Amino acid sequence: MVHLEDLRRCLEQLGGGFGASLVRAWDGPVVLRVTYPYPARPPEDIGCVLEEGEWWFAWSDGRTIGPADDPEGVARVIVRDPWRGQA
């Protein structure tokens, strides 16, 4: 949960109309719910997954975004392209 809180703070610092709050997904883990400044874009639940001994941030569909020890970089990916971080 510490990683998600770090990511929340980074998104807050970047601004741009993005919202983020820690929530417990329906009978699941705590996730970071990101709301976008675009009305047509639904919120995205960002989680943390453990892969090969390292924590990664992941989209709600399980695809990884970036390493959990780089919340600033992951926040930039989310802000740069809110439609799934594709650069």
Span 34-73, pLDDT tens digits: 998 877 788 999 999 999 999 999 998 999 999 999 999 9
The per-residue pLDDT for 33 is 95
Beta bridge partners of 64: 58
pLDDT at 20: 94
Q: How confident is the model at residue 5 (pLDDT cuts 50, 70, 90)?
A: very high
Q: DSSP code of 27?
A: T
State the pLDDT at residue 73.
96
Mean pLDDT of 22-27: 85
The beta strands (E) that lie in 1-87 are given as 19-24, 30-35, 44-51, 54-58, 64-67
